[in-house]
């Protein structure tokens, strides 16, 4: 009986050892990828935004020096202050949205805080040099988009796009700030710091992420009006 008992304990020990080995093997296949790809994610994203901010500031400064008051006609970059912060209050670099204008629309007015809008967009994380995915390295991983296809040719197509309707200020601060400076038909690439995105929340995106959106304004609807399928 003692022999059988010892044999039972030995078998249990072997099973536990195998379980541990399999568990460690599974972790070794997944955890290092996660750890490497997102290593120092908060700091790297903060640095990425500062690089974009510096790039835009340099372009704007050069355009102003060369073209004076007409600089906006020759420079696609804009720096927009957080709409929720008064101009009389001192701010920081993370109170700014960086904009690159990809296309000028034909609209003449911008949405106000109480308006609804219809928009097309693709949202991406920063370009991640540590990712083993080529698109993530070169363009940034897509985390959201409008319509049924994440192909930009479809998202912004006049024939195949499917704009979504939202309140101008019913989104994160960076998104809402950009919208209130856009005109119908504008297509912008906006870069917002984590402080104007989702910050430490991981409910919708990876926490502490600098967010990039290609954003097209399709329609503006004042309070009390019902957005239709077309603006």
145-154 pLDDT, tens per residue? 999 999 999 9
Question: Is 182 part of a structural domain of the chain?
Answer: yes
Residue-level pLDDT at 4: 42
Question: Is 17 part of a structural domain of the chain?
Answer: yes
Question: Is 8 part of a structural domain of the chain?
Answer: yes
Mean pLDDT of 47-62: 98
Residue-level pLDDT at 130: 95
Residues of the chain with pLDDT > 70, as a percent, come to 84
Tokens of 1: 């009986």
Separation in Å, CA 77 to CA 58, 168, 189: 10, 22, 10
Separation in Å, CA 124 to CA 142, 143, 148, 150: 4, 6, 16, 11
Whether 187 shows a pLDDT value over 80: the answer reads yes
Residue-level pLDDT at 70: 98
Residue-level pLDDT at 229: 47
One domain, residues 183 and 84: yes
Question: Is 226 part of a structural domain of the chain?
Answer: no
Question: Is 10 part of a structural domain of the chain?
Answer: yes
One domain, residues 176 and 131: yes
Q: What is the pTM of this model?
A: 0.83
Question: What is the rounded CA–CA span in Å between residue 223 and residue 231?
Answer: 14
What residues make up the domain containing 6? 1-37
One domain, residues 141 and 30: no
One domain, residues 85 and 29: no
Separation in Å, CA 126 to CA 59, 65, 122, 190: 20, 30, 13, 12
Residue-level pLDDT at 228: 65
* Domain CATH number, residue 88: 3.10.50.40
User: H-helix or E-strand containing 44?
Assistant: helix 41-67
Whether 163 shows a pLDDT value over 90: the answer reads yes
Mean pLDDT of 177-184: 98
One domain, residues 153 and 165: yes
One domain, residues 4 and 76: no
Question: What is the rounded CA–CA span in Å between residue 88 and residue 90?
Answer: 7
Dump pLDDT digits (tens) for 72-90. 999 999 999 999 998 888 8
One domain, residues 3 and 67: no
Question: Is 194 part of a structural domain of the chain?
Answer: yes
One domain, residues 31 and 144: no
Dump pLDDT digits (tens) for 114-144. 999 999 999 999 999 999 999 999 999 999 9
Question: Is 228 part of a structural domain of the chain?
Answer: no
Count of structural domains, the chain: 2
Least trusted range by pLDDT, from 4-13, 86-95, 114-123:
4-13
Separation in Å, CA 118 to CA 133, 146, 195: 32, 11, 25
One domain, residues 21 and 84: no
* 169 against 5, higher pLDDT: 169
| Residue 184 and residue 217 in contact, taking contact as beta carbons nearer than 8 Å | yes
Residue-level pLDDT at 34: 60
Least trusted range by pLDDT, from 12-16, 81-85, 154-158, 172-176:
12-16
One domain, residues 98 and 189: yes
Per-residue confidence band for 226, with pLDDT thresholds at 50, 70 and 90: confident
Question: Is 3 part of a structural domain of the chain?
Answer: yes
One domain, residues 189 and 217: yes
One domain, residues 24 and 56: no
């Amino acid at each position: 009986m003692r022999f059988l008992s010892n044999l039972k304990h030995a078998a249990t020990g072997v099973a536990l050892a195998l379980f541990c080995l399999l568990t460690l093997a599974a972790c070794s296949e997944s955890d290092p990828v996660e750890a490497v790809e997102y290593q120092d994610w908060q700091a790297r994203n903060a640095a990425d935004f500062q690089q974009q901010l510096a790039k835009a500031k340099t372009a704007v400064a050069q355009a102003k020096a060369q073209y004076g008051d007409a600089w906006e006609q020759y420079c696609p970059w804009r720096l927009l202050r957080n709409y929720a912060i008064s101009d009389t209050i001192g701010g920081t670099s993370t109170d700014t949205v960086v904009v690159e204008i990809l296309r000028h629309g034909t609209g003449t007015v911008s949405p106000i805080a109480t308006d609804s809008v219809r928009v097309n967009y693709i949202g991406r994380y920063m370009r991640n040099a540590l990712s083993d995915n080529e698109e993530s390295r070169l363009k940034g991983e897509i985390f959201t988009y409008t319509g049924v296809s994440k192909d930009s040719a479809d998202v912004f197509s006049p024939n195949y796009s499917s704009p979504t309707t939202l309140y101008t200020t019913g989104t994160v601060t960076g998104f809402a700030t950009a919208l209130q400076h856009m005109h119908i038909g504008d297509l912008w690439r906006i870069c917002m710091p984590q402080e104007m995105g989702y910050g430490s929340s991981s409910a919708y995106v990876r926490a502490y992420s600098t967010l990039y959106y290609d954003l097209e304004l399709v329609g503006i609807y004042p309070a009390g009006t019902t957005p239709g399928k077309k603006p």
